[in-house]
């Protein structure tokens, strides 16, 4: 377990970041009542109205910051939890 600690932390961070940005699940399930941030971004990206570009870029930055904070916090917590197994 100690040798695979770093691999577990970073692979779970990659999965967390992918799930944060996945837009296809609400579209496949057909439920667009509660639109997730990534689904809203996808809808704005394919929108031909160029006046929506600033809103799209702002939402992209928000998603990037939220994802970065979540991944950093998650990797920190997981690192400290797995560090206890070394003792």
Distance, in Å, from the CA atom of 9 to the CA atom of 79, rounded to the nearest integer, reads 7
Q: What is the pLDDT of residues 3-39, one digit of tens each?
A: 777 777 778 777 777 776 666 666 676 766 667 777 7
pLDDT at 27: 66
Q: Which domain holds residue 33?
A: 5-86
Per the structure, the count of domains in the chain is 1
In this prediction the pTM is 0.63
Residue 64 binned pLDDT confidence (cut-offs 50, 70, 90): confident
pLDDT at 4: 74
Interhelix angle 5-21/53-83, rounded to 10 degrees, is 150
């Amino acid at each position: 377990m100690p040798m695979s600690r770093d691999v577990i932390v970073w692979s779970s961070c990659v999965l967390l970041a992918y799930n944060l940005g996945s837009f296809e699940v609400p579209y496949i399930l057909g439920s667009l009542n509660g639109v997730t941030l990534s689904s809203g971004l996808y809808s704005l990206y394919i929108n031909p109205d160029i006046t929506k570009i600033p809103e799209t870029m702002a939402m992209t930055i928000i998603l990037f910051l939220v994802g970065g904070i979540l991944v950093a916090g998650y990797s920190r917590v997981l690192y400290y939890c797995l560090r206890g197994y070394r003792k």
